[in-house]
Structure formats: structure tokens, C-alpha cells
A and B are shown apart, each in its own frame.
Chain A
Amino acid sequence: MRSHREPLFHLAKQGDVSGRRAWAIRLASFVLAIFIGGLIFLFLGHNPFRAYGEIITGSLGRKTALRQTIKIAVPLLGTALAIAPCFKMRFWNIGAEGQITAGAIGATFFALNYANRLPSPLLLTIMGLSGVLCGALWALIPAIFKARWGTNETLFTLMMNYIVIGMVKYLQGGPWEGKPGSQIIPNFNNAAVLPKVLGVHCGWIMVLILTLFIFIYMNYSKHGYEISVIGESPKTARYAGMDVGRVTRRTMMLSGGMCGLVGYMVASGANMTLYHNVADGVGFTAITVAWLSQLNPFAMIAISLLLAILDKGAGTLQTAMQVPTSISDIITGIFLFCMLACEFFINYRILFSGGRKKEAKEG
């Protein structure tokens, strides 16, 4: 017979967490991430304080740098907002990358073919609408299969990414190629380029409006309510008379449409052309942004800015301190890991077996 062993500790779900405690834990995880990042710099033989200083000045120090940082944050925020309704519904849309690309294709079609025939504002509007439509339709496909046959949406949307990216590669080398053999789609005509406001393409205004829209949509609309009920329990939703399939399709179209809009912004505002890497991992990074913000649109602004600062700032370390650019991915990864891990300490309490009496007294 083995003697019964009392486990060293057990876990309990934390009921209501005070906001202050939650934020204290998040702050601690943030500090921990900075610390681990610092250790890496130290290990590489660099002064961590200088490295972090360089990241800050490199991303926020000069006006041009600040603009670049904003430019990185805009698609991140827009895509995170797009993903939020899906994730609220527990529909794991990993396909933002592809929906962005699909939107960029839709916008580019008009940019290439109608640039000389339409006045710029009208052209830009049509490009935007076309981007939204393409993104929405691309997102609708996995939603249909999920709603009808329960096909695994994580894997489905993931595969869809590479299909549409492959299509862009085909367009680049085929029908939309500029100079023969260049494998490059020519730059957009000026009429098809988003105007700049305060030095950054006006996409930043659009995503701020979207932030407000998603906040209202998720919290104060019937659609938002249906989404959260389905997320909690599809069975309850069905019992209450909601058409789960319809809401799934509608939400995915909204999500894909917003991703498509982001694709339009990136192609028209930032790159002024279309190429296969137009999404550039934003679709994946934005998923972490949305999740770490607890799907709160305003928190997404902060987190997308943080990641943009890390990305842009660590990129400048190459010239300043001869550290390869890829350090930005490592530092970003460490921040994501720490912030993901810290949610556990917010949601659960660790109760040590020895400490039970004491806790009973306190309780």
C-alpha cells in the first residue's frame, strides 16, 4: 500500500479580483519581462540600460521614428479589434493574416485598374469597400463550414492564410506584374494612396474610430450580446432562440471585413503597393494583442503601441549596437510569454496545504 500523500498545494479559481491587484500583477509581469530582456542584453555583452534607452529613443525619440512606430501600431490595433468579436464567441480565427491579404488584393484591384478613371476620393472609397468585401468573403468560408459541419476553425483559417498569400505571389509574378520578370506589382498611382494626416497615413484615424465602434458593438448592441452568450455556451444561446450559425457567419464577416480594411490601409497607406508579405505577421501578433487586452478595445491601443515600440525600437539596435534585428522578435516573445503567464496569477489562487489553517482564520 502506498501511503496517501497530501499534495503540496492546490489551486482555486479566484472569484472577484480587485482591479488594483490585477493591475499590480500585470505590472509585475511587465517588469519581469523587462528584467529577462535585460539579462539577454547582458548575456550578449551589452549594457541593458543603454539597450532599453536605445529602444525608447529609437521608437519615440524623433518625429520620424514616432511616425514609424504609429505606422506599425495601426494595423496591429485594427486587426486586434477585428479579432475581438470572434474570440469573444470562442471562434478561434487564426486567419486574420489571410483576411488582411485578401482585403489588400481587393483594394489593389481597383488601385491598378481604375486609378486614372476615377477621382481620388471616390477611388479610395471603392478600394476600401472592395477590401472590406474581400476580407469578409474570405472569412465567411470557414464560418460556413464551422456553422454547418463543425469543421475545426483554427486549422481551417490557418490553412486559408497560405492559400491567399500564394495567390498574391501568383499575381505578383503573373497578371499584375509591373516590369516583366520583376515579380513586383508597380507602385500605386498617387490617386490610390491614402492621404497623410500629421505625417502618418490616415488609417490611424480609421482604427481609432473602429476602437470606439467595437467598444459600443461589443458592450451595447444586441449583436454583441448574442456573441457573448454564444461564447459562454452555444447550447444556452440555442435554447434562447438564437441562430448560432447565423451569428457565427455574421461575426466572421465583420471580423474579416475589418481585417480587409486593415489590408487596404497597409497596401494603400503604408506600402503603396501589394506584395505577398503585406500582412507581415500582423495577423498573428494581433491575436496576442487582442487576447492580452482581455478583448478590451482601449487596452488594445496600449498593447499594440507597446509592441510597436518594441518592434521599431529593437530594430534600431542593429545600427546603434550591432545587435541583429531579430532581437525584436525575441524581446516581443518574452513580453508575450510573461503577460500570458501572469493571467494565471490573476485568475487563480495557490493554496498551500500547510497554510490552510491560517487562511481559515483570515477568512
Chain B
Amino acid sequence: MNAVIALIFNAILNGTPLMYGTMGEILTEKSGNLNLGVEGLMYMGGALGLAGAFYYEKAAGAGVNGLLAMVIAIACAFLAGALGSLIFSVITISLRANQNVTGLALAIFGTGVGQFVGEYMRTMEGGYIAVSNELKNFFQNAPFPQTLQNIPVVGKLLFGHNIFVYLGVLLALAMGFFISRTRWGLNLRSVGESPATADAAGINIARYKYLATVMGGGISGIGGMVYIMTIAGCVWNHEGLAGVGWLAVALVIFCLWRPVNAIWGSVLFGALMILYLRVQLPIPSEIYKILPYVVTLVVLIFTSLRKKREDQPPESLGIAYFREER
């Protein structure tokens, strides 16, 4: 029993960065932009989020405020991701370059920036970057009182996670509501499905695409920061972050472009990522690790086989819109 709880608990912990990365990419793809640079955005968010918290603590000294540090980390990560995807947006939306190629360029650029900032801080600060234990606890511990966590069985699972898990779930619910229940969400979907139709209906295509892509990039960037500040222990760790962004692109497909699915999807992927550590099966651990991709492929194949309209990728995904070319 305890083993199962520990597995689920760790799956949630490991899935949370993915959840943010995925939500950001869902918002982006809903506008018809396929941003393959999520890996780069998460690197940028991770490195700059850590930098924000670290330099704030350095400036504040003993009077460091955990909440403020967290807000600064989130803001820095968001801005880093938003800035990265703003470059992507300008080049693909305004300048109409190919999205796949620009996304890959962003992945190269972003991983470079993330690593550079991480390494640069390390050399500047004499070898080791870490925030104080007090701040670390604030990022990594649950925001609920211990008594709630002590409830047998469900206590730890419901109240034991770091704050980003809860924020992520709230964000996913809000985004799901926004996309499927509000007028702006409807407009956004129409931009992603058929920009020509949306344009004819008087929707400002460029504005929706820009906003969705930049906000989405920012949310993905937060995912990188969450990885660094929780799982990696507030230390820059580019090896651990490697591949998470690509996994997020996979998870978007697995979730069928629905933010609410990202909640349980990320837990499942998180479980697949750590399963080899916890469950002994006669399969080599490296085969375990490719399971998320295999599962995603199966989902991709099945959705294309079934041709159910609700489950398809946004119709205009990856295609630049140019009014004069209709």
C-alpha cells in the first residue's frame, strides 16, 4: 500500500513540470501554431527562474521572503518563456516563416541560453549555485499544515505536494474552461481550426495567435522552473531537464489538446518516467523510459484511424496564415 502511494506521489512530483510544459503548448497549438521549441523554452524558464530566486535571495540577505522569492521565480520563468516564444511568434506569424524550422531553431537557441545562464552563474558565483535551505523548503514543501498531511492514506496524496502542483491543476481547470466555455476561447479555437473563416468573422488572427503563443511559451517556461526548483533541488541541472520539453510535445497529443487531460496525463507520464525505479519487472529500465513515446504514438495512430472530429489536431496546425493567399 505504501509503495503504491509513494509511486503515485512521485509520479505527481515528476509529472508537474510536464503539466506546465504541456498546458503551454496546448494553448499555443490551439491557435494553430506548432511550436517545437518547448524544450528550449523550458530550459530558459528553468535557468532564469533559478537565477531570479537566487539573485533575489542574494540581494535580500537574511530578510528573504519565501512568497516573494516564489513570485519572482515564476515571473522570471514566465518572462523567459514568453520572450522565447515572442521571437517564434514574430518570425512565424508576422514574417510567415516555416513553424517547424523556427521551432527547432528556438529549441537550439533556448537550450543554449538556458545552459549558458546556468553555467555562467556557476562560474560567476564560484562553482555552486544553490538557494538557502529555508527557501528550498518553501519551494518544495506542501503549503498545507502537517495535520492535514497526516490523515491516513489520502493525506499525503491530497495535501502533501509542493504548491506548483496545486497551481498547475487550477491553471489547467481555468484553461479548460477558457478554451471550451468562453467566447475568447471559441475565437481562439476557430483561429486554430480555420483562420480564413475566423478572419471572415472579424476575429483578429494575429492578435490571438500572438497572445496564445506568447502566454503558452511563458507557461511552458514555468514548467522548466518547477523542475529546477523542486525535483532538481534548486540547482541547475541541464541533464535532468533534457528531453522534458519533447515529452511535453508528446503529452499534448496524448491529451488530445485538452488542458484538463494534462492533469492526469502528466501524472501517468510522470509514473512512466519513474516506474523503473520502483517496480521490478522483467523489462529493462531503458525500455520503460520509451513507453511515454510509444503510448503517444499509439494515441496518435488511433485518433487518425477513428477520425473522431473532437480528437483531431487543430486543423491549421503548423500552417502560416496569409489573408491574401486564400
Q: Which residues of A contact B (CB under 8 A)?
A: 11-13, 92, 94, 145, 149-152, 154-156, 158-163, 166-167, 169-170, 173-174, 281, 284-285, 287-288, 291-292, 322, 324-334, 336-337, 340-341, 343-344, 347-348
Contact = CB atoms under 8 A, between A and B. Distances in A.
Contacts of A327: 112, 116
Name which of B87, B107, B253, B297 has the most chain A CB atoms within 10 A of its CB. Answer: B297
Contacts of A287: 100-101, 104
B100 A333 contact: no
A14 to B, nearest CB: 12
B101 A162 contact: no
B296 A159 contact: yes
Contacts of B293: 159, 162-163, 166
A340 B104 contact: no
Given A174-B284, A328-B112, A145 B246 contact: no
What 8 A-B pairs have minimum CB-CB distances, sorted nearest first?
Answer: A333-B109, A329-B112, A166-B290, A326-B115, A336-B105, A170-B286, A344-B95, A324-B119
A102 B287 CA distance: 16
B300 A151 contact: yes
A158 B286 contact: no
A285 B106 CA distance: 11
B220 interface: no
B111 A329 contact: yes
Contacts of B285: 173
Given A336-B108, A341-B91, 11 more contacts: A11-B324, A152-B313, A166-B286, A287-B100, A326-B116, A326-B119, A329-B111, A333-B112, A336-B105, A340-B98, A343-B95
Interface in B289-310: 289-290, 293-294, 296-297, 300-301, 304-305
19 contacts: A94-B36, A151-B301, A152-B300, A154-B34, A155-B250, A159-B293, A162-B247, A163-B294, A169-B289, A170-B284, A285-B104, A287-B101, A329-B111, A330-B109, A333-B113, A340-B101, A340-B105, A343-B95, A348-B96
Given A12-B324, A166-B287, A155 B300 contact: yes
Contacts of B34: 154
Given A151-B301, A162-B290, A324 B120 contact: yes
Contact of A332 (B95, B100, B112, B246): B112
B243 interface: yes
Contacts of B101: 287-288, 291-292, 340
Nearest to B95: A344
Contacts of A285: 104, 108
Contacts of B91: 337, 340-341
Contacts of A334: 109
Contacts of B249: 155, 158
Contacts of A11: 322, 324
Chain B: number of interface residues, binned into ranges? 35 or more
B141 interface: no
A281 B108 contact: yes
B11 to A, nearest CB: 19
Contacts of A13: 324-325
A156 B304 CA distance: 11
Nearest to B318: A154
A341 B296 contact: no
A332 B108 contact: yes
A285 B286 CA distance: 26
A326 B290 contact: no
Contacts of B287: 166, 170
A330 B112 contact: yes
B246 A333 contact: no
A330 B113 contact: yes
A311 to B, nearest CB: 10
A174 B318 CA distance: 39
Interface in B273-289: 284-287, 289
B97 interface: yes
B33 interface: no
Contact of A162 (B87, B102, B243): B243
Contacts of B112: 326-333
Contacts of B250: 155, 158-159, 162
Given A324-B120, A340-B97, A341-B91, A156 B297 contact: yes
B123 interface: yes
Contacts of B297: 156, 159-160, 163
B300 A341 contact: no
Contact of A145 (B36, B115, B253, B304): B304
Nearest to A340: B97
A284 to B, nearest CB: 5
Given A92-B100, A322-B123, A337-B87, A330 B284 contact: no
Nearest to B92: A340
A151 B284 CA distance: 30
B277 to A, nearest CB: 15
A266 to B, nearest CB: 19
A346 B266 CA distance: 43
Nearest to A92: B100
A163 B290 contact: yes
A336 B109 contact: yes
Given A169-B286, A324-B116, A159 B104 contact: no
Contacts of B313: 152, 155
A329 B108 contact: yes
Interface in B229-257: 243, 246-247, 249-250, 253
Nearest to A168: B286
Nearest to B94: A344
Nearest to A342: B95
A163 B102 CA distance: 24
Interface in B155-197: none
Interface in B104-161: 104-113, 115-116, 119-120, 123
